[in-house]
Amino acid sequence: MAKSTPKQTEYDFSRFEASLVELEKIVERMENGDQSLEESLKDFERGVTLTKNCQTMLKNAEQKVEKLVKVHGELETESFPDGDS
């Protein structure tokens, strides 16, 4: 029997969580100040990449969020308007 694959949103959530954990480790290493300049620069670059990826994932999630509205006993979806409020 084939194993079911996780939904895309579950995958994105786990990837987001993994990115946050990695960012926390990077911050901890950099705060300790025990790294060489080269190691610090590599960590900084990786942190910037992870941050951008997390921001993209959050923006995508925000765009997918839908408000449930009960209409005539049926649940319908209503997308939030685009743009900043």
Quick check: is 1 in a domain?
Answer: no
Number of domains forming the structure of the chain? 1
Residue 62: per-residue pLDDT: 75
Quick check: is 2 in a domain?
Answer: no
42: CATH:
1.10.287
Domain that includes residue 49, residue range: 8-79
Q: pTM to 2 decimals? A: 0.62
User: Band of the pLDDT at 75, cuts 50, 70, 90?
Assistant: low
Quick check: is 73 in a domain?
Answer: yes
Quick check: is 85 in a domain?
Answer: no
What is the distance between the alpha carbons of residues 72 and 18, in angstroms, rounded to a whole number?
Answer: 42
